[in-house]
Amino acid sequence: MKRLALPLVAAVCLSAISAYAQQKTVTICAVNNGPMIELKKLSSKFEEKNPDIKLNWVIVEENVLRQKVTLDVSQHSGLYDLVYIGLYDTPIFAKQGNLLPFDNLPADYDVDDVFKSIRDGLSYDGKLYALPFYGESSMLMYRKDLFEAKGLKMPDQPTYEDFAKFAAALTDKSKGFFGVALRGLPGWGENMAFLDTLLNSFGGTWFDEQWHPTVDTPEWKKAIGFYVDLMTKYGPPGATSNGFNQNLTLMQTGRAAMWIDATVAGGMLEDPKQSKVVGKIGYAQAPIEATPNGSHWLWSWAIGMPKSAKQPEAAQKFAAWATSKEYIALVAADVGWGQVPPGTRKSTFDNPDYQKAAPFAATTLKAMQTADPNNPCIKKVPYTGVQYVGIPEFQGLGDQVGQNIAGALSGKSTIEKALKDSQSAAERTMVQGGYIK
């Protein structure tokens, strides 16, 4: 066997050392859910094509993510080069000057292919400040096989009265089977994400047109009373520990009959590798009560770049790849079209392979196209956002109100006290923020 000459060996070693020394590490803080785990898995393909870039992942639960990201972005600590944020955070952070815009994206990124509602929600002052990884609304997922067995029929547009009747007919707690699975874990992006849509549909608002809080009102009492009664009778025990992932497991393992949550869950329920109910799930629009306004949310988990990012060029390159048509095709090749990141691109919904593999596609598209963050309530309000209020103070206020309502659900408090305390918290927040005197 021939031996390489010493100078050649030295040159190869020096080249390798030089490449390693020039390698840029991009640190990403992401939410712990299925699509993100798939991205981390497939990101090795990006690293193979870009050996000068190394990806460092920090993957945490949703509430933890929001805390970490808010601190890093607002304090310019530079811990992360990319962060997962959404339609709520992006314009607020951008207005504060805490994000870098995504300029000079490659032509094949095809920005116009991204749904306009998502683009608009991730923009500020005409510039795009986050790239959408996936988009979603909310919908009702139900066991159509159990509905057929019980002689029940899901309407095209169910009411919450319908929902409660179905829950009563399908619950069998003696067998550990529950009629409903709904978010109970406290947090503005957890239980309040669902509860805001419930409140909107029951005719409630967070504030009147002059920013006076309207929490301790008949509409809130009726909506939260409905929720607590429904969950107590037909939901699982310990529901205040259940967020998206826990309720997904209840549905995937066949222990719950109905679930109102993010449309992105459709792909997870139809994935035979993780779900026992493939082909047994029906999809409908989220229920309504007094009004359809704000009855289902609009959201996008997107990739933002903090102003303090240490490797902005490398970070933008990965963010563009992770939200591209190319990446969607990679996911389809790896796990099937039914599991690709949904809700961001027209080309995905136009694809016959996706339509065939995703029985939830039409429901998702209709929900996303009809969700209106600019008119979330039946009454006029001074804010935008369906499942949130688009002001910086809402994150803390939403968390506090979510805790109060979780207390009522667990029986540690009453609905009356929860709403009274929440009204007081909202009034303090608005005074401190200078919205009211």
Query: Superfamily assignment of 137-297+370-432 in CATH?
Result: Periplasmic binding protein-like II (3.40.190.10)
| Cα end-to-end distance, the chain, whole Å | 86
Place of tokens 């080069």: 81
Q: Read off the pTM.
A: 0.89
Q: What is the pLDDT of residue 12?
A: 47
| Of residues 130, 285, 125, 131, the one with CA closest to residue 197 | 285
Tokens of 175: 């067998």
Q: Is 287 left (phi over 0), alpha (psi -120 to 50) or beta?
A: beta
The residue type of 72 is: D
Query: Containing H/E element for 301?
Result: strand 298-304
| Of residues 213, 183, 211, the one with CA closest to residue 197 | 183
Confirm if 141 and 281 have CB atoms less than 8 A apart.
yes
Rounded to whole angstroms, how far apart are CA atoms 324 and 131? Answer: 9
Query: Containing H/E element for 300?
Result: strand 298-304
CB atoms under 10 Å from CB of 411, counted, come to 10
Residue 278, Cβ density class (10 Å: 0-12 exposed, 13-18 middle, ≥19 buried): middle
Rounded to whole angstroms, how far apart are CA atoms 282 and 302? Answer: 28
| Of residues 292, 282, 266, the one with CA closest to residue 197 | 292
Please say whether the structural domain 24-136+299-357 has been given the CATH code 1.10.150.80: no
Rounded to whole angstroms, how far apart are CA atoms 105 and 132? Answer: 13
Q: What is the pLDDT of residue 22?
A: 80
pLDDT in tens, the chain (437 residues): 445 455 554 454 544 455 455 899 999 999 998 889 999 999 999 999 999 999 999 999 888 998 999 999 999 999 999 999 999 999 999 999 999 999 989 999 999 999 999 999 999 999 999 999 999 999 999 999 999 999 999 998 999 999 999 999 999 999 999 999 999 999 999 999 999 999 999 999 999 999 999 999 999 999 999 999 999 999 999 999 999 999 999 999 999 999 999 999 999 999 999 999 999 999 999 999 999 999 999 999 999 999 999 999 999 999 999 999 999 999 999 999 999 999 999 999 999 999 999 999 999 999 999 999 999 999 999 999 999 999 999 999 999 999 999 999 999 999 999 999 999 999 999 999 999 98
> Which residues of the chain are in CATH 3.40.190.10 domains?
24-136+299-357, 137-297+370-432
Place of tokens 């193979």: 48
